[in-house]
Amino acid sequence: MIPPCLDAAAQHWQVRRAALVRQYVAQAGRAHAGVGVMGIPTVWLPILEKNGFSVRRLKTDACTNIAAAALIRAVEQVQKNRAKVTAQPVPACLRQAAQTYAVSWPVVQRYYTAQQNVSVSARRYGPMHIPAGWLPLLRYAGFPEWRVKHDACWNMAAGVWILAAEHAGDRVPGTGWKGTPINWIPAIPVRIIQDATYASAQTGVPKALLMAVAWQESGFNPQAVSPVGAQGLMQFIPSTWARYGQGSPFNPRNAMLAGARYLRHLALEFHSWPLALAGYNAGGHAVVEAGDHIPDFTQTQHYVPAVLGRYRMLASQSGAR
């Protein structure tokens, strides 16, 4: 019987479960020179000890031994990816990331080339020089921190994911998504700023975050209607409006208050603004089903960092938080 901790180890270190199962089954009931249920080669013991694995537990605890075997496979994959990246002028995994996250190839290529000429910083990681401040959000999006820091291909995917939200990328045919520039702040009607201030005071949701959502959802247009029927400044569908809204969704103050109530509800449920934003876009149930991560929907994966980018701009330029 395969122990449940094998699944947890495969997920944590992002390695193939089938490979771990094969190794576990191959070692079962055999006399072998390695250590523990996975037959870990003794040459790995000093490295594993540096990563917090005690030799005693590797010998006596099956789950610790399986976790160590998963780490070894992750390290070996990192080494393979590093060799591939080094051997290629333009890594194939960089092209794949550009396609996956709908960022135009010239944008990705220019950014990658620029990063190769930047001096390494202690607070930035990998070939894309991922800032440490992005690591928590990347974890919510399903990027394992260890992989982002050490695996070149995972690092490139994370970097392109960030670009998808922050850069005004050209539309990629067939994706239906176009990046929106966030290097400028449009003129915001005074009434909407006042409504955001009021809603923030009523609910405790940061004023700049409310305005960032309104910017992302409707471009500050109180009369906006989406192709799927979402309405108003904060783009409520009728069923959600019935729960959080009062009056008309086309009234800016009503919409801002409803959006603040909904975001507060989601923040209390998930204890995280990034996950609250994911729930606002995809529904709270989708966040739960994704294991309290940002759901693997292209729109939501773009939406969360885009709103946070707008929030940072609004908070830094207006002092509103």
pLDDT by 10s per residue, the chain, length 321: 889 999 989 887 878 889 999 999 988 867 667 899 999 999 899 989 988 899 999 999 999 999 999 999 988 887 777 776 666 666 888 888 888 777 888 888 888 888 877 776 668 888 898 888 788 778 777 788 888 888 888 899 999 888 876 653 333 333 333 334 444 567 889 999 999 999 999 999 999 999 999 999 999 999 999 988 999 999 999 999 999 999 999 999 999 999 999 999 999 999 888 899 999 999 999 999 988 888 888 788 778 888 887 887 888 775 555
Instruction: Say what the pLDDT of residue 321 is.
Output: 54
Q: Which domains does the chain have, with CATH numbers?
A: 4-83 (no CATH), 103-166 (no CATH), 190-318 (1.10.530.10)
- End-to-end, the C-alpha distance of the chain in Å comes to 53
Instruction: Say what the pLDDT of residue 180 is.
Output: 40
Instruction: Say what the pLDDT of residue 169 is.
Output: 36
For residues 215 and 281, give the distance between their C-alpha atoms in angstroms, rounded to a whole number: 14
- 293 to each of 31, 138, 170, 300, 301, how far by Cα in Å? 41, 10, 27, 11, 10
Q: Full-prediction pTM beyond 0.85?
A: no
SS3 content of the chain, % helix, strand, coil (to 5): 65, 5, 35
What residues act catalytically? 217
Instruction: Say what the pLDDT of residue 139 is.
Output: 79
The beta-strand segments (E) located in the chain are: 124-125, 130-131
**Burial of residue 149, with CB atoms counted within 10 A of its CB: 0-12 exposed, 13-18 middle, 19 or more buried:** middle
Q: Which residue has the tokens 């959502």?
A: 213
The token pair at 103 is 């960022």
For residues 181 and 71, give the distance between their C-alpha atoms in angstroms, rounded to a whole number: 39
Q: Smallest Cα–Cα separation from 162: which of 231, 200, 115, 120?
A: 115
